A and B are shown apart, each in its own frame.
Chain A
Amino acid sequence: MEERKPGVYLCRGCGIDEAVSVDDLEQVAGTELKVPTCRQHDCLCSDEGVETIARDIAEGTVNQAIIGACSGRVMTDRFQFNGTSVIRANLREQVAWSQPAGDENTQMLAADNLRMGIAQAAKTVTPEASAEGETSSTILVCGGGITGLSAAREAVRAGHAVVLVERSDTLGGWAAQWSKRMPFRPPYRDPQDNDVAALIAEVSGNASVTVMPDTVVTRTEGSPGRFSVTLSQGGAEKIETVGAIVVATGWRPYDASRLGHLGYGTSPDVVTGVELEGMLGAGPVQRKSDGKAAKTVAFIQCAGSRDPDHLPYCSSICCAVSIKQALQIVEADPEASAFIIFDELRTPGTAEEFYRQAQEAGVIFMKGKVKGVDADLKVVYDDELLGDDIPLEGLDMVVLATGMVPNSTNPEAAAAESGADQLVDDIDPEAPIAIAGYKGGNGDGAAAEDAAQTPGDGGEDGNGDGDAEPALPGGPILNLQYRQGPHIPILADGFADSHYICFPYETRRTGIYTCGPVRRPMDMAESAEDAAGAVLKAIQALRNAGMGASVHPRVGDLSLPKIGLDICTKCRRCTVECPFGAIDEDENDYPILNPSRCRRCGTCMGACPVRTINFDNYNVQMVSDMIGAVEVPDEFSEKPRILILACENDAYPALDMAGINRHQYSPFVRVVPVRCLGSVTMLWISTALEKGFDGIMLMGCKSGDDYQCHFIKGSGIAKERMEKVGETLKSLMLEEERVAVEEISIADSGHVPNVINSFADRIVEIGFNPFKGF
């Protein structure tokens, strides 16, 4: 890199000038830190202010702009100078707006924020795009049901070629079997005609779509932009290069043969909802036993759902499906009666209209739990509204509303050799780390192996007793050739893992997007919408891969982890802990990065025990220097210093918002934004303690089953690591409480000052860091 020419630009607007002495700040930059160019402006983001900076850059006196003004989260479009590195020191939200004006401590905070910015600039290099050559714009869609067909249609409309792979020999999936659809247009009251045939015709008739029935994916290599997938059509293999993959493998009904307690198998007239669909499509519904018309039909909701012995979750659509079928029955035959026995009727959104329609049509709803169904179709249920057992006698048919099981594996294929245990726990059993969303992901490899050896026993109820979690049966869908195993990571219930709030379509494998019921239970209309969302994400991924840029949440980031192999000890922590499987191992067990799989979270950087993984614009030394740049007063000044390593996705904006809302908090905190708590390395903790910081707080997203970490595992990993730091602190004769991890969501701006203040109080109680001043 050419010689660094930093320039400091200080804004006096938005209350900064009233809160602190900007002249003194200029002194810090110019006199103390010898930055050659220092300027002030009344409104730096105005055209005139921006011009001041642009002029210095154009004249060549400055090639790094350190802007002491508002938070780095705002005005990013104003302070952008053709790739010149721009460093932002937050003087507004986290100083002027959250601290008392004119106070000595406020001035010290502002000066430290500026010092940290200047230190950051000294270790930053503007990353350059690593072009990797040609990328493909073709999208592979796995699954030819309503979701896959909708995905193919949307991709073609957006101008992409599609390879549509379907395991069976026909398109349409389950949707092709339905007699009618649930209403998806206003007034949302009547079952609508099934239009899936038109969708099949549209997609298969499109020249940009290559439809491959009777095909499975046997191998997937590469990374976004150039996945190399091996497709096996009836045994004949073919290799395709695709830019991104949309997985729409859908669902299968829960195995009703396990529902003997609800009469399945005891009488041919106890059928599942899926079976009833076939009967509805064939004309007037007749009893299987004697062919008589079914005049009196009872529907049992939650048959094997929300039941710890079966599917523990709600499939969300069974209520509306039963309503639809009951309506079809009573509308086809005015003499017919339909009873729906529910525990809780769940009709979200417009399905409420549908529920009303069924009530008006005379469908009888009963609230309670079914106790049993005998061979004469006598249903006994415990009516919660009467507080009594009620027998229903004289029924012609009983319908079990069974739930949806995700096809996140291919149930027809044999489990992959190392696949089943990888699916449950893709972390090295030698170094167990809690994985978000995995129950029993405690590295107990033996339990996983047991489950893998008894296929069919564990079955779909992937949520048995909590200790030995059986893996989903079946082989991997894509058979990924990744170090972390062939499967798409799943959640405890078997659905594909995704960040359910912010990035619902993302899997933990960049460039591979799930949609439809493989992601969560949903109906046809939702699946079609979901498919459109996933396709847009897939398009973003392959385009970004072509530019060498990251996908969300660091969209457009060109930096990549650079692994210094000279001191690498082949410990594999980076390859194991990467939430996205971006790092594989080469034949000599050295880590090897697949750049376009990387999301730039820095979890590898935080994991590396020899700290040989760094980004150009975010590295171990940079943050260490920033921590070191803070001026720590001696203990007699009675001014403690608390380091906050704040996740830039949620915690840092929450701090900014606290300032916007003018919430004040302790002036003794020094905030360093980090890409993810997963990137926090132990060195930073020890640097801070050596420097004399009295407390350290890590602020990040929620971890666990309902994680909100934008990089899925990062906050969980950080929590795990920090639990171990306690021992180190003890060995240094320091109190464990000096290091804390707090979960802060973006909505916590009102709460975050309390978190900070109570931590500061605790630190004062404990007393000052004895290393202060050494």
Chain B
Amino acid sequence: MAQSAPDTARKYDLGFARWVYENVEGGDKLSMCMQCGVCSGSCPIGTEMDHGPRKLFMMIRAGMKEAVLTSNTLWNCTKCYRCVVRCPRGVPVTYILGGLGTKAVEMGYVKTEDTVRFSKAFWWSAKTFGRTDERLVTSRYHFSGGFGEGVKKSLANLKIALGMFKAGRLHLGAPHKVKGTKNLQAILAKAQEIEERAGETER
């Protein structure tokens, strides 16, 4: 992988693996990992990750809590599911990475990660309109790091935006919405409520 965990992240917690098994989505299957590395070998963007999934899972066992939760692996995963399909032990790698990402955000390990800001912009659009609006998601993401950065990033992507506009992939005017966005938001609010309730009983 591109680089190993920075030394400053050396914090060990013997109970971390157990905590992951019990609290992270898909974590109950993680104990079956036999470290064969098929997941890392299958990952199309493994070179963009601090650690491949195999190594990340071994770090979990070794109790390297901070190194795991600050790893960019959680955010650079594109959710292609190739690892899940190929895992000989049925470990849902993608879910576990997603679950770890959620926990990392909750626990405050992640603050300025680029992919986190993109995810937040994406989720805002999905929640508000029931769809992703390329214009709004992109601009919200571009300007999330401040005005100056927003202008810089927008200009850098201008050519792509024009191309998409010509091809009819980007429209001007009011964003497209699904029917009954109110209902969608009510569903999502309920889901969040259930999740929070479940989280409380777990604790």
A contact residues vs B (CB 8 Å cutoff): 296, 337, 339, 356, 359-367, 383, 385-386, 388, 390-395
B53 within 8 A of partner (CB): no
Instruction: Indicate if the CB atoms of B31 and A383 lie closer than 8 Å.
Output: no
Closest to A394 in B: B14
Segment at the A interface, from B55-63, B80-88, B172-180, B181-189: B55-63
B18 touches A362 (CB 8 A): yes
Starting from the known contacts A337-B15, A386-B59, A392-B12, 17 additional A-B residue pairs (CB-CB under 8 Å) come to: A296-B15, A337-B14, A339-B14, A356-B32, A359-B34, A360-B31, A364-B17, A364-B61, A365-B61, A366-B58, A385-B58, A386-B55, A386-B58, A390-B64, A392-B14, A392-B63, A393-B12
Closest CB pairs A-B (n = 6): A390-B62, A385-B58, A362-B31, A394-B14, A359-B31, A364-B61
Residues from chain A with a CB closer than 8 A to the CB of B59 are 386
CB-defined A-B contacts under 8 Å, sample of 15: A337-B14, A337-B18, A359-B32, A361-B31, A362-B18, A363-B31, A364-B17, A364-B61, A365-B61, A367-B35, A385-B58, A388-B4, A391-B12, A392-B12, A392-B14
Q: A359-B31, A360-B32 are in contact. Are A385 and B55 (CB under 8 A)?
A: yes
Residues on B with C-beta less than 8 A from A337 are: 14-15, 17-18
Contacts of A386 in B (CB 8 A): 55, 58-59, 62
How distant is A105 from chain B, measured CB to nearest CB, in Å?
A: 57
Interface presence of B95 (CB below 8 A)? no
B21 within 8 A of A: yes
Q: Are A362 and B58 in contact (CB under 8 A)?
A: no
A395 CA to B14 CA, complexed, in Å: 8
Residues in A with CB closer than 8 Å to B54 are: 385
Residues of A within 8 A of B61 (CB): 364-366
A364, B58: Cβ atoms under 8 Å?
no
Known: A359-B31, A362-B31, A367-B35. A383 touches B12 (CB 8 A): no
Closest to A345 in B: B34
- Specify the chain A residue showing the minimal Cβ separation from B35: A385
Closest beta carbon of chain A to B59's beta carbon, Å: 6
Q: Whole-angstrom distance between the alpha carbons of A385 and B34 in the complex?
A: 11
Bound state CA distance, A388 and B35, in angstroms?
A: 16
Contacting pair B31 A364 (CB below 8 A): yes
Kindly supply a per-residue 1/0 record for chain B positions 45-57, scoring 1 wherever the CB is within 8 Å of any chain A CB and 0 otherwise.
0000000001100
> How far apart are A711's CB and chain B's nearest CB, in angstroms?
45
Shortest CB distance B45–A (Å): 21
Q: By the criterion CB–CB under 8 Å, are A390 and B12 in contact? A: yes
| A150 to B55 CA separation, bound complex (whole angstroms) | 47
Q: In angstroms, how far is the closest chain B Cβ from the Cβ of A626?
A: 60
* Shortest distance from the beta carbon of B202 to any chain A beta carbon, whole Å: 15
User: A32 vs B160: C-alpha distance in the bound complex, in angstroms?
Assistant: 104
Complex Cα gap A314–B18 (Å): 31
Question: A362, A365, A388, A393: which contacts B14 (Cβ < 8 A)?
Answer: A393
Name the B residues within 8 Å of A394 (CB-CB).
14
Q: Could you mark each residue 1-40 of chain B with 1 if its beta carbon is under 8 Å from any beta carbon of chain A, else 0?
A: 0001000000010110110010000000001101100000
Nearest CB in chain A to that of B58: its residue? A385
- Chain B residues positioned under 8 Å from A362 (CB to CB): 18, 21, 31
Query: Within 8 Å CB of B55, what residues of A?
Result: 385-386
Closest to A363 in B: B31
> Closest CB of chain A to B156's CB: distance in Å?
38
Distance in angstroms from B75 CB to nearest chain A CB is 21
- Given A359-B32, A362-B31, A364-B31, check contact A383 B14 (CB 8 Å): no
Q: How far is the CB of A329 from chain B (nearest CB, A)?
A: 13
Query: What is the minimal beta-carbon distance from A399 to any residue of chain B, in angstroms?
Result: 16
Smallest CB–CB gap between B12 and chain A, Å? 6
* Interchain CA distance A429-B63 in the complex, whole Å: 59
CA distance A363 to B34 in the complex (A): 12
Most buried by A among B4, B34, B58: B58
CA–CA, A168 to B110, complex, Å?
Answer: 65
Question: Which chain A residues lie closer than 8 Å to B14 at the CB level?
Answer: 296, 337, 339, 392-395
In the complex, the chain A residue whose C-beta lies closest to that of B29 is A360
Q: Which of chain B's residues have a CB closer than 8 A to the CB of A385? A: 35, 54-55, 58
Is the pair B62, A366 in contact by a Cβ cutoff of 8 Å? yes
A72 vs B58: C-alpha distance in the bound complex, in angstroms? 61
Q: Which residue of A lies closest to B51 (CB)?
A: A386
* Complex alpha-carbon distance, A539 and B35, angstroms: 49
Q: Please measure, in the bound complex, the distance between the C-alpha atom of A366 and the C-alpha atom of B61, giving whole angstroms.
A: 7
Chain A positions within 8 Å of B63 at CB level:
390, 392
Q: Which residues of A contact B31 (CB under 8 A)?
A: 359-364
In the assembly, what is the distance between CA of A456 and CA of B64, in Å? 44
The closest CB in chain A to the CB of B33 belongs to A359
Residues of A within 8 A of B32 (CB): 356, 359-360
A392 to B61, CA, bound (A): 11
A602 and B62 CA atoms in complex are apart in Å by 61
Nearest chain A CB to B24 CB, angstrom units: 13
| A393 CA / B63 CA spacing, docked (Å) | 10
B17 CB to nearest chain A CB (Å): 5
CB distance from A389 to the nearest CB of B (A): 10
A385–B56 CA distance with the chains assembled, in angstroms = 10
Whether B21 lies near A383 (C-beta < 8 A) is: no
Report how far A395 CA is from B54 CA in the complex, Å. Answer: 25
The smallest beta-carbon distance between A610 and chain B, in angstroms, is 65
Q: Which A residues lie within 8 Å of B35 (CB)?
A: 367, 385
Q: What are the residues of chain A within 8 A of B15 when measuring CB–CB?
A: 296, 337
